[in-house]
Amino acid sequence: MIVRFLAYGFAGWCIEILWTGLGSLLSGDINLTGYTYLWMFPIYGLGICLEPVHDRVRNLPVFIRGGVYTIIILIIEYSTGALLRELLGACPWDYSGTPFSVNGLIRLDYAPAWFVTGLLFEKFHDALISMQYLRRI
């Protein structure tokens, strides 16, 4: 379980760095500057919480599965952002002043990205389980 938590944390960091790097290109930064926050590692590690959900919705249509993941991810992002804001006095990410922001903690226009991310983590979950199975043989 700890290995999968770490794997989700690292995968999340990589996806975020790619996302922000591509975003910087759209802003004219040809260096493709990507970034993340150290706080994000344990938050992305919480992707392990989607595993039981994945197991339960595995046979449902893709739009339902992706929708479920999107809602859960937005709840986790909002909750962890609110918790960090309470503990630290600020949230490392601040969407205040951006379109479709909810209290500066989530952006509803990112829902399609979270939809895809949830489905990618579904495949990642299957790969992690498969690798663990292979190690037991």
- Number of structural domains (the chain) is 1
pLDDT at 134 exceeding the cut of 60:
no
Q: Is 59 exposed, middle or buried (0-12, 13-18, 19+ CB in 10 A)?
A: exposed
Q: Is 54 exposed, middle or buried (0-12, 13-18, 19+ CB in 10 A)?
A: buried
Q: What is the pTM of this model?
A: 0.87
List, for residues 77-102, the tens digit of each pLDDT value.
999 999 999 999 999 999 999 999 99
Q: For residue 79, what is the DSSP state?
A: H
List, for residues 98-110, the tens digit of each pLDDT value.
999 999 999 999 9
Sign of CA dihedral 18, 71, 132, 123: negative
32-38: long-range contacts, CB 8 A cutoff, minimum separation 24: 37/92, 37/93
- The neighbouring-strand residues paired with 107 are 101
CA pair distance 96, 12, nearest whole angstrom: 23
Residue 77: give the domain boundaries: 2-136
List, for residues 6-49, the tens digit of each pLDDT value.
999 999 999 999 999 999 999 999 999 999 999 999 999 999 98
- pLDDT of amino acid 137: 44
Reading the block at residue 95, the tokens are: 């969407």
